[in-house]
Amino acid sequence: MTADLNSCGSSKHKQRFLKSDIKIKMNNFSTILAVVQQQNLNLLQLFKAVNAEEWNDDELELYEAIFSGKDQIPRRVWMVKRYGTFWEKDIPENNEAFFKESFRMEKKTFSFLVDRLGVLAKKDTNWRAAIPLEKRIAIALYTLGSSSEYRSVGRLFGVAQNTVCKILHEFCGALILELGSEFMSPDYLTPEKVDECVKGFEAIGFPQCLGAIDGCHIEIKPTAAEAIDHHNYKGWYSIVLFALVDYRYRFTYVNIGSAGRCHDSAIFQRSSLARKMVSTPFLQEKTREICGVEVPVLLIGDSAFRFSRTLMKPYPFSTTASAEQRNFNYNLSKARRVVENAFGHLKARFRFIGKGLDSHYKNNNGVILACCILHNILNEHNSTINENWQPTASDLREQPLRTNMSADFSQPAERVRSAIAQYCQNINK
């Protein structure tokens, strides 16, 4: 449509024409630009005189850009207005208990994360203000601590669903890079750490123990091509979090991502932990004589693992078991409880992984590792678990349990176990 402003008659008619013409073509930018190029008048000045108060801010910005000949035309709609005020209103108006219930940690630990994760801060743009650093961390922690969908979390905080997902994975990545080496050091086999752990487990009742190992299956939604590998024998899809846990329930080593069909013992045998247990020189120097037998620093596990000199497991169940064997199994079970409790605390605090991961499979390992690091941070800050966080039996998938009796006898390993069994019998008298 071509417009001739000079043919419109009086100034009043000119104003009415201009306003109606632009209203008709407000969604057709190319036509509006063609009209502007054909006029020799200052249309911007004339437009502003035509009842400008009836136009909203977006329209004013749009037409000013058109009439002034700018190369870039601003977007008519930049963002959807959202009204979630959970962070801005509800959190400040409630107490510390409400804060901990919402974010699974105390305010002092939250402040620690804000101070250490400054890399997550974003700058304001010409279009809108950035989400503050504190709110970004709050969104990530709330998502990890609840079983809510991204959409529900977004409505609560007044952000888009995809923004919640993006913030969560940025938070997990930053946490791993900034705090991973401090709270889950790859140098977990140091003389000082070994001495601390051995002393801690001896207080529980098991000597020469570095830590307890076990695997925990976490439900996922794999791709069709990988589904068969992740299908465990309980009939659901999972990946395995294999961990070494110390006497304070801290994760000292984790192996994440093995397919659900993998056996815990096989995961351990091909792990770096298994190699370090036999190749670290100073571990041999910390051998201790117990009941006439040289007992090395060792790990403890359940009946799923292969019995060896550096990995103790219970005696097989028998109605004719001796008192020494029963005491050994009792003390080992009491010491091994730390790994079961650590998994329980992890799933209680972070329901996002407890309910099963629905993230893209490439992000699963990072989310689980970030939760393990957060668990260690909260452990160091002596943060407790609220009783109502503990999931019920109906909330959790039944974990696949397997035993491994193949290659289960080793004479050197049996001598070590017998010596420890005698030690346990003596301390339990």
Q: What is the pLDDT of residues 410-425, one digit of tens each?
A: 899 999 999 999 999 8
| Shared domain check, 104 and 41 | no
Confidence band, pLDDT 50/70/90 cuts, at residue 177:
very high
| Shared domain check, 264 and 353 | yes
Let me know if residue 139 belongs to a domain: yes
Q: Tokens 């070994």 sit at which residue?
A: 194
**Domain finish residue from 166, 183, 200:** 183
Distance CA 426, CA 41 (A): 104
215: Cβ contacts below 8 Å, ≥ 6 apart: 240, 241, 242, 243, 258, 264, 267, 304
Distance CA 313, CA 327 (A): 13
Let me know if residue 208 belongs to a domain: yes
| Shared domain check, 215 and 152 | no
Q: Tokens 């998994």 sit at which residue?
A: 343
What letter would DSSP give residue 86? I
Question: What are the tokens at 418?
Answer: 């017998």
Whether residue 1 is predicted with pLDDT greater than 50 in this model: the reply is no
| Shared domain check, 136 and 38 | no
Let me know if residue 292 belongs to a domain: yes
Give the residue-averaged pLDDT of 249-267. Answer: 93
Please state at what angle helix 161-183 crosses helix 133-145, rounded to 10 degrees.
90
Question: What are the tokens at 98?
Answer: 């409400």
Tell me if 333 sits within 8 A of 424, measured CB to CB.
Answer: no
42: Cβ contacts below 8 Å, ≥ 6 apart: none
pLDDT at 356: 80
Number of domains forming the structure of the chain: 3
Buried b or exposed e, range 297-335, using 16+ CB within 10 angstroms = bbbbbbbbbbbbbbbbbbbeeeeeeeebbbbbbebbeeb
Tell me if 347 sits within 8 A of 82, measured CB to CB.
Answer: no
Q: What percentage of the chain carries pLDDT values higher than 70? A: 76
- State the residue range of the domain holding 22: 5-67
What letter would DSSP give residue 240? E
| Shared domain check, 309 and 368 | yes
Least confident of 78-82, 114-118, 365-369, 420-424: 78-82
| Shared domain check, 230 and 107 | no
| Shared domain check, 384 and 307 | yes
Strands 238-245, 209-219: pairing kind: antiparallel
Let me know if residue 305 belongs to a domain: yes
Confidence band, pLDDT 50/70/90 cuts, at residue 226:
confident
Whether residue 8 is predicted with pLDDT greater than 90 in this model: the reply is no
Let me know if residue 118 belongs to a domain: yes
| Shared domain check, 255 and 219 | yes
Q: Which CB contacts under 8 angstroms, 24+ apart, belong to 284-293?
A: 286/191, 286/194, 286/195, 286/198, 288/207, 288/208, 290/207, 290/208, 290/419, 290/420, 290/422, 290/423, 291/418, 291/419, 291/422, 291/423, 292/419, 293/415, 293/416, 293/418, 293/419
Helix residue ranges per DSSP H, 293-355: 323-349, 351-354
Tell me if 255 sits within 8 A of 234, measured CB to CB.
Answer: no
> How distant is the alpha carbon of residue 189 from its chain centre?
25
Distance CA 377, CA 383 (A): 9
| Shared domain check, 322 and 196 | yes
Let me know if residue 80 belongs to a domain: no
| Shared domain check, 349 and 319 | yes
pTM (two decimals)? 0.79
Of 68-82, 141-155, 345-359, 403-417, highest mean pLDDT: 141-155
**Domain finish residue from 129, 149, 183:** 183
Compute the mean pLDDT over every residue in the chain, rounded to the nearest whole number: 83
Q: Tokens 């799923």 sit at which residue?
A: 304
Confidence band, pLDDT 50/70/90 cuts, at residue 225:
confident
C-alpha neighbours within 13 Å on the C-beta side of residue 126: 2
Least confident of 131-140, 277-286, 372-381: 277-286
End-to-end CA distance of the chain: 102
Let me know if residue 76 belongs to a domain: no
Let me know if residue 417 belongs to a domain: yes
Question: What are the tokens at 168?
Answer: 């969560």
**Domain finish residue from 67, 98, 119:** 67
pLDDT at 36: 52
Please state at what angle helix 161-183 crosses helix 364-380, rounded to 10 degrees.
60
| pLDDT tens readout for residues 116-133 | 999 999 998 877 889 999
| Shared domain check, 176 and 198 | no
| Shared domain check, 131 and 202 | no
